Amino acid sequence: MEMSRHTYYRLIHHGIKSLLKERLGHFTEVEYHEYLNGITGKSCCFSMSDEELEFTLASLQNEGYIEK
Model confidence over 9-68: pLDDT tens digits? 999 999 999 999 999 999 999 999 999 999 999 999 999 999 999 999 999 999 999 987
Name 54's Cβ contacts closer than 8 Å, sequence gap at least 6.
1, 8
The whole model's pTM is what? 0.89
What pLDDT shows up at residue 67?
Answer: 86
Q: What is the DSSP string of 36-60?
A: HHHHHS-SSGGGS-HHHHHHHHHHH
